[in-house]
Amino acid sequence: MFLNRVVMLAAIAPLALGGCSLFRTESAWDQAAEARPLEIPPDLDTPSTSGALVVPGGGAGPSEAARPTAARSSGGTGIDGLHVEDAVSSTWSRVGTALERAAIGSIDARDESSHTYTLSMTVTHSSDEGRGWFKRLVTREKKTTTTKQVSLGVSPDGNGSRVSVSGDRDAVQKVIALLRERLG
């Protein structure tokens, strides 16, 4: 009896396995031929660059009341500034008012005759850089707090005044962003 089952299974197995191909149909995917590549019309090959490098003419409009300059120094200190369409003494007092109201740091020294401020700022740095995602996920973020000195000076610049800020790069960026918002 056991032998009959084995012989019957041996006879039916090839028929069952070979029968799978009887139910298979040829799809359009199997019969597809390769099409020729797409062609790009010559006038759509590259975008037009006729007005890409046009430099607008200079002129002090109302939108340029406080424009940043690109002056920066290398290393750990930054030097940046902005132009304000106002007199030097008025700009110096406006800068002092903006610094006091923003509470971005404490004004250590102010000199009205030379139109300068010395500001002490507390800057917080995160030490997550260089750590993998898993380590940042399971450990606390390490923050270090340091006090940085920032020097501000107001000088004549054409029809207005130039506010120059120098010191730690992160602190300078914060002060310039604040002054751009408050004096702009």
Q: State the pLDDT at residue 78.
A: 54
Q: State the pLDDT at residue 127.
A: 64
**What are the pLDDT digits (tens) for 73-114?**
334 455 677 888 888 888 888 888 888 888 888 888 888 888
Tokens 């918002």 correspond to what residue?
Answer: 181
| Residue 138 token pair | 């399971």
Sign of dihedral through CA atoms 103, 105, 110, 116? negative
**What are the pLDDT digits (tens) for 41-85?**
777 766 666 666 666 665 544 444 333 333 333 344 556 778 888
Give the SS3 label for residue 103: coil
Tokens 């939108």 correspond to what residue?
Answer: 63
CA–CA distance, 152 with 48 (Å, rounded to integer): 45
CB 146 within 8 A of CB 120: no
**What are the pLDDT digits (tens) for 1-49?**
778 888 888 888 777 766 666 666 677 777 788 888 888 777 776 666 6
Tokens 């005044």 correspond to what residue?
Answer: 161
Domains in the chain (CATH in brackets) are: 64-183 (3.30.530.50)
CB 159 within 8 A of CB 60: yes
CA–CA distance, 158 with 48 (Å, rounded to integer): 38
User: Which residues make Cβ contacts (< 8 Å) with residue 181, sequence separation at least 6?
Assistant: none
Per-residue DSSP letter, 112: T
Measured between its terminal Cα atoms, the distance across the chain in Å is 100
CB 84 within 8 A of CB 163: yes
CA–CA distance, 32 with 127 (Å, rounded to integer): 57
> Residue 8: enclosing H or E segment and its boundaries?
helix 2-18
Output the average pLDDT for the chain: 74
Following DSSP, what letter does each residue of 146-179 receive, concatenated? EEEEEEEEEEEETTEEEEEEEEEHHHHHHHHHHH
Sign of dihedral through CA atoms 162, 163, 169, 173? negative
